[in-house]
C-alpha cells in the first residue's frame, strides 16, 4: 500500500467524522435528596393531573396555575436584557417575552414557561418586545392605561423606572382592567410575581433618611400593602411570589473601570447612571452606598412583616410567599449585567433567576436560603406529584 492510499483513507474517514459528528452526550442529572435537577426542563417528565384538584391557594403545585401575572419595574419588563444590538433602537428595547418573571416567548427560560411545561394551557405571559421602554417613575407616568402595550405585555404590568409608589398604579390602571378584559375565571389559580425596590434604593437613599415621605420604609411598606390588598380583593385565587430587594450597591465595584461598560458611552468611568446613589466615587459615594444597604435591609424587613401578616391571615383564596435575596452581584462576573447600561440584568441573569426562583418555589425554608452561584447553565428542579408551594414558611 502506498502513502497516497493511506492518506486517501485517512482523509475520507476524517471527512466522514466531520460530516457526521458523534451525538452529544446527555448532561448529567443531579439528585439532591428527593429532588431531581436537570439542565433543560424538557428532560423533566410531565405529571398526570392531580387526582384531587386544589381547592385552596395553600395546596398548590406550580402546574395548578392557569395564568401568570406580574408587577414590578424594568427588571420584570426585561429591559435591555439582550444587550447591544446592531440596530441601536433595539438595544433599548424591553424584551418582555424573555423576562424571567413574565416571559412566554417560545424556548425562553422563564417562570411562566416552566409552569407551561407542566400545564400547557397556562397563559398570561408577555410575548415579544417593546422597542421603547414603558416608563413610569414616580410622578412621571402616562395617565390611565396609556403606559402599556397589551399585545406584548399581556398580564405583565411592570413598568421601567417604577418605584414602590407606582405599584398601585400598575394594578389599578392596567392589571385589574386586563383581568376583567380577559374574563379570568375566579376559580382558576393565578401566579403573580412581585419584585420592586431597586429604583427606590437608587434614587431615594438620601430622602429615605428623613423617615417620612417617598423612599421611607413606612412609605415603601404602605405601598406594598395597598397593592396587595388591591390584588386580594380584585383577583381571587392568587398567589403572590414576593421577592426580596437585592444589594444593588454592588453594581459600583462590579462595573468600575470595566471596558465592558464603555461600549455605548465611552466617556464615563461608571456608566450605571440609572442609579444615582451608587454612581459616585470617594466619600460621598461610600456614604450613599451605605445608605442603600441599610435601606435594603429595612425594606426586606418590611416585606417579611407583610408576608408574615398574610400567612397569619390564611385566606383560602390569597397567599403571599417570601423569596429571600437571590441575586449576589458581588460574586458575579460583569456578564451578569447588560452591556447596554451595566445596570440591568443580562439575559443570562434572567435565566439564572427564572431557574432558581422556580427551584425555590416548592423548596423548604432552608432551601430558599441557599446562595445562588453564578452559572450560565442553571439547573432546573423537576416537579414531583407530591410537591406543594409552602405558604407558611415565615410562621
Give the domains, in start order, of the chain with CATH numbers.
63-381 (3.40.50.1110)
Which pLDDT value is given to residue 273? 81
Q: Higher-confidence residue: 225 or 270?
A: 225
User: What gap in Å lies between CA 347 and CA 80, rounded to an integer?
Assistant: 9
* SS3 (DSSP) at 193: strand
Each residue of 275-299: pLDDT tens digit? 999 998 899 999 999 999 999 999 9
Average pLDDT over the chain, rounded to an integer: 92
Query: For residues 313 and 320, is the Cβ–Cβ distance under 8 A?
Result: no
Which pLDDT value is given to residue 77? 98
Query: For residues 203 and 185, is the Cβ–Cβ distance under 8 A?
Result: no
Which pLDDT value is given to residue 321? 98
Mean pLDDT of 214-240: 98
Residue 241 has pLDDT above 50, yes or no: yes
Which pLDDT value is given to residue 89? 85
Which pLDDT value is given to residue 34? 84
Query: For residues 102 and 70, is the Cβ–Cβ distance under 8 A?
Result: yes
Which pLDDT value is given to residue 268? 55
Q: Higher-confidence residue: 369 or 149?
A: 149
What strands, in cross-sheet order, belong to the sheet with 189-195?
65-72, 189-195, 238-243, 318-323
Question: Would you state the cell numbers that stand for residue 131, as one nine-digit string?
Answer: 422597542
Which pLDDT value is given to residue 29? 66
pTM score = 0.91
Amino acid at each position: 500500500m502506498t502513502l497516497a492510499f493511506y492518506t486517501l483513507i485517512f482523509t475520507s474517514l476524517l471527512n466522514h467524522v466531520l460530516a457526521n459528528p458523534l451525538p452529544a452526550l446527555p448532561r448529567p442529572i443531579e439528585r439532591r435528596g428527593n429532588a431531581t435537577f436537570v439542565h433543560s426542563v424538557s428532560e423533566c417528565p410531565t405529571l398526570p393531573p392531580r387526582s384531587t384538584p386544589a381547592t385552596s391557594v395553600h395546596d398548590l403545585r406550580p402546574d395548578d396555575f392557569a395564568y401568570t401575572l406580574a408587577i414590578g419595574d424594568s427588571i420584570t419588563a426585561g429591559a435591555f436584557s439582550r444587550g447591544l444590538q446592531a440596530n441601536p433602537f433595539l438595544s433599548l428595547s424591553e424584551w418582555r417575552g424573555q423576562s424571567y418573571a413574565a416571559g412566554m416567548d417560545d424556548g425562553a427560560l422563564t417562570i411562566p414557561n416552566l409552569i407551561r411545561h407542566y400545564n400547557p394551557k397556562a397563559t398570561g405571559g408577555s410575548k415579544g418586545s417593546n422597542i421603547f421602554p414603558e416608563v413610569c417613575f414616580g410622578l412621571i407616568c402616562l395617565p390611565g392605561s396609556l403606559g402599556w402595550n397589551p399585545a406584548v405585555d399581556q398580564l405583565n404590568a411592570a413598568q421601567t423606572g417604577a418605584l414602590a409608589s407606582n405599584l398601585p398604579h400598575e394594578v389599578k390602571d392596567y392589571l385589574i382592567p386586563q383581568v376583567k378584559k380577559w374574563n379570568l375565571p375566579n376559580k382558576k389559580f393565578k401566579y403573580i410575581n412581585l419584585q420592586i425596590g431597586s429604583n427606590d434604593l437608587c434614587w431615594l437613599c438620601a430622602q429615605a433618611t428623613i423617615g417620612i415621605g417617598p423612599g421611607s420604609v413606612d412609605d415603601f411598606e404602605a405601598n406594598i400593602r395597598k397593592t396587595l390588598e388591591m390584588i386580594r380583593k380584585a383577583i381571587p385565587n392568587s398567589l403572590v411570589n414576593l421577592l426580596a430587594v437585592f444589594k444593588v450597591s454592588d453594581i459600583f465595584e462590579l462595573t468600575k473601570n470595566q471596558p465592558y461598560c464603555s461600549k455605548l458611552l465611552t466617556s464615563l468611568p461608571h456608566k450605571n447612571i440609572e442609579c444615582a446613589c451608587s454612581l459616585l466615587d470617594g466619600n460621598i459615594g461610600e456614604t450613599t452606598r451605605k445608605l442603600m444597604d441599610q435601606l435594603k435591609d429595612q425594606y426586606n424587613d418590611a416585606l417579611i412583616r407583610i408576608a408574615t401578616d398574610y400567612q397569619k391571615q390564611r385566606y383560602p383564596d390569597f397567599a403571599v410567599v417570601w423569596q429571600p435575596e437571590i441575586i449576589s452581584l458581588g460574586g458575579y462576573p460583569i456578564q451578569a449585567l447588560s452591556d447596554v447600561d451595566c445596570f440591568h440584568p443580562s439575559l443570562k441573569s434572567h435565566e439564572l433567576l427564572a431557574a432558581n426562583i422556580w427551584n425555590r418555589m416548592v423548596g423548604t425554608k432552608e432551601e430558599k436560603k441557599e446562595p445562588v452561584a453564578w452559572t450560565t447553565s442553571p439547573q432546573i428542579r423537576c416537579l414531583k406529584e407530591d410537591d406543594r408551594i409552602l405558604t407558611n414558611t415565615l410562621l
